[in-house]
């Protein structure tokens, strides 16, 4: 079994404009997703709005710049993630198809396990 990170992207403005009823519906849908895939989910969380992000970048001479905001200004921002376990990419994609994303989509990426002991 391998681990995959399912990155959830969406239009924050559209979700915000939906008001409390949309938030409640999305919460219910994520709870249902969690129950349907509880054997595969290893973790997950929602993220605060992209406006709360701070980016750290290093240029070619090693200088580090810290700036307010996400790496890129886009219509769809990273809003949360699930860490799942699946036998292969096909199974991971089947699980990812069920993630509630009314104003966006998901990106599925295999987790590369690094040996940090050396």
pTM (2 decimals)? 0.87
What pLDDT band is residue 73 in, cutting at 50, 70 and 90? confident
pLDDT above 90 coverage of the chain, percent: 80
Query: Are 67 and 55 spatial neighbours (Cβ–Cβ below 8 Å)?
Result: yes
Give me the pLDDT at residue 69, please. 82
Write down the H helix ranges in 8-85.
12-17, 19-36
What is the third-level CATH fold of 2-110? Alpha-Beta Plaits (3.30.70)
**Mean pLDDT value across residues 39-53:** 94
Residues 40, 87: Cα–Cα separation, whole Å? 10
Q: Is the pLDDT of residue 72 over 80?
A: no
Query: Are 9 and 79 spatial neighbours (Cβ–Cβ below 8 Å)?
Result: yes
Residues 8, 103: Cα–Cα separation, whole Å? 10
Residues 95, 82: Cα–Cα separation, whole Å? 10
The mean of the pLDDT values for the chain is: 93
**Mean pLDDT value across residues 61-82:** 88
Q: Any idea where the domains of the chain sit in the sequence?
A: 2-110
What pLDDT band is residue 115 in, cutting at 50, 70 and 90? confident
Residues 96, 118: Cα–Cα separation, whole Å? 34
Q: Is the pLDDT of residue 118 over 80?
A: no
- CA distance from start to end of the chain: 25
Give me the pLDDT at residue 87, please. 97
Task: Tally Cβ neighbours within 10 Å of residue 88.
Answer: 11
């Amino acid at each position: 079994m391998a681990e995959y990170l399912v990155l959830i992207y969406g239009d924050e403005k559209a979700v915000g404009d939906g008001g409390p009823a949309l938030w409640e519906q999305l919460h219910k849908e994520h709870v249902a997703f969690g129950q349907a895939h509880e054997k595969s989910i290893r973790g997950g969380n929602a993220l605060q709005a992209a406006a709360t992000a701070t980016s750290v970048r290093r240029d070619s001479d090693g200088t580090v710049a810290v700036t307010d905001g996400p790496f890129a200004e886009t219509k769809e921002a990273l809003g949360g993630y699930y860490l799942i376990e699946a036998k292969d990419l096909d199974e991971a994609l089947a699980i990812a198809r069920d993630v509630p994303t009314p104003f966006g989509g998901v990106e599925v990426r295999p987790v590369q396990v690094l040996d940090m002991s050396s």
